[in-house]
Amino acid sequence: MTQHRTRKIRLKKIGEVAALFGTTPRTLLYYEEQGILTPDKTGKGTRVYASGDIRRFAVAFELAGLGIPIRRIREIVEASERATSKEEAARAQSSLLTDLGADLRDQIGRLERAVADIEAGRSLIDGTFEAHPAEASAGRASAKEGITPLPAICALLADFGDLETRRLTGDAEGKRPKKPRYVAASGR
């Protein structure tokens, strides 16, 4: 392919495409290695990207940015390439996207539960959580919101609560309160 033809049909070099997306040429090479992009090359081996290549990269780059694994993105691309008609490609891609949507909804549910656990842990720290930290670490739900904090968070916070209680009241032998010494729950 000549330089003149490259300009005429508006092909872009790897650095230009990378700049459009705020990434590096190495990222585009990685997508090529993974079978997601297949740019044309000039006679001297320079990769050039047509508008279709750029659109494909835009979609793949966005999906990857959302945490979709490259192998899943590649499956969608390969479904289109294996198909013998546009209808077959559309059916295959639709099925893969339906599965991906279900996986993402599951992931959203897990993330929402993690956020709730973190908020419950923060409430323990703030002193607004209604259950005693030891009860929460045993897996009992908060009466306030029905949240069961993650056991690791609760265990750490229960240790913190015990340290704080000893600091404020003194130990069981009636000694005067000590400054708390904070250590990780694992004892490290």
Residues 6+ apart with CB under 8 A from 142: 120, 123, 129, 130, 131, 136, 148, 149
Q: How far apart are CA 155 and CA 7, in angstroms?
A: 64
pLDDT at 125: 79
Give CATH 1.10.1660.10 domain extents, the chain.
Answer: 1-69
Return the pLDDT at 136: 47
| pLDDT for the residue numbered 60 | 93
Q: Which residues contact 113 (CB under 8 A, 6 or more apart)?
A: none
Kindly report the number of other CB atoms within 10 A of residue 148's CB atom: 18
Structure tokens at 99: 């599965």
pLDDT in tens, the chain (188 residues): 445 444 456 899 999 999 999 999 999 999 999 999 999 999 999 999 999 899 999 999 999 998 899 999 999 888 888 889 999 989 998 999 999 999 989 999 999 999 998 888 888 777 754 545 455 444 444 444 455 555 555 555 555 555 555 545 555 454 554 554 544 444 44
**What integer pLDDT is reported at residue 49 of this predicted model?**
96
Amino acid 43: pLDDT: 93
Give the predicted TM-score (pTM) of the model. Answer: 0.56
* Res 144: pLDDT: 45
Measured distance CA(66)–CA(104) in Å, rounded: 10
Kindly give, in sequence order, each residue whose CB lies less than 8 Å from that of residue 28, ignoring residues fewer than 6 positions away.
14, 17, 18, 37, 39, 47, 49, 57
Per the listing, tokens 């993330």 go with 111
Residue 114's CB is within 10 A of a number of other CB atoms, namely 11
Work out the number of other CB atoms within 10 angstroms of the CB of residue 94: 11
Nearest Cα residue to 49 out of 75, 19, 81, 88: 19
- Phi and psi dihedrals of 131, rounded to 5? -85, 150
29-46 residues labelled b (16+ CB within 10 A) or e (exposed): eebbeeebbebeeeeeee
CATH code at 1-69: 1.10.1660.10
